[in-house]
C-alpha cells in the first residue's frame, strides 16, 4: 500500500515539475502579424542566435527560424529549416524591413540590411 502511495506522490511531483522547465524566450519584442488578415502588433520575440541566425517566437508558442545570407547589397533572408520561401515586402523605415513567410509577416530591425533593399 505504501509503495502505491509513494508511486502516486512521485508521479505528481514529476508532472508538476514539467511546467517549471518552460520559460519565455529571451530577446526584443518586434512587430508581427501572425495568420491571414492579422494586424501588426508588437508581440513577437526576436532571439538572436549568433552569426546570421535568428528565431522569431510567436505569442502562441510557435516560432520561425531564419538566416541572413550573402554580403553587402546581396543580403537575403531565408528560412533556416526549409519551411518555405521568404518574401521581402518592403523597407518600413530606415531601420526596419518587412518580410513574410506563408501567412505570417514580420518587421525586422534590420539596420544596415535595409540598405540592400532600398
Is 72 inside any structural domain? yes
Is 18 inside any structural domain? no
* The predicted structure's pLDDT at residue 73: 62
Reported pTM: 0.70
* The predicted structure's pLDDT at residue 106: 93
* The predicted structure's pLDDT at residue 92: 66
Is 38 inside any structural domain? yes
Residue 53 belongs to domain spanning: 23-117
Is 35 inside any structural domain? yes
Q: Are strands 76-79 and 63-69 parallel, antiparallel or unpaired?
A: antiparallel
Is 46 inside any structural domain? yes
Is 10 inside any structural domain? no
Compute mean pLDDT per 10 residues along the chain, 118 residues long, and list them. Answer: 49 48 78 95 92 91 88 72 78 80 89 50
Is 48 inside any structural domain? yes
* The predicted structure's pLDDT at residue 8: 46
Amino acid at each position: 500500500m505504501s509503495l502505491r502511495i509513494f508511486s502516486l506522490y512521485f508521479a505528481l511531483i514529476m508532472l508538476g515539475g514539467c511546467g517549471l522547465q518552460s520559460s519565455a524566450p529571451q530577446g526584443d519584442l518586434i512587430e508581427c502579424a501572425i495568420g491571414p488578415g492579422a494586424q501588426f502588433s508588437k508581440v513577437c520575440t526576436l532571439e538572436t542566435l549568433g552569426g546570421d541566425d535568428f528565431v522569431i517566437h510567436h505569442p502562441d508558442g510557435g516560432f520561425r527560424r531564419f538566416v541572413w545570407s550573402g554580403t553587402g547589397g546581396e543580403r537575403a533572408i531565408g528560412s533556416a529549416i526549409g519551411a518555405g520561401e521568404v518574401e521581402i515586402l518592403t523597407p518600413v523605415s530606415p531601420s526596419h524591413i518587412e518580410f513574410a513567410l506563408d501567412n505570417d509577416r514580420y518587421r525586422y530591425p534590420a539596420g544596415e540590411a535595409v540598405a540592400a533593399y532600398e
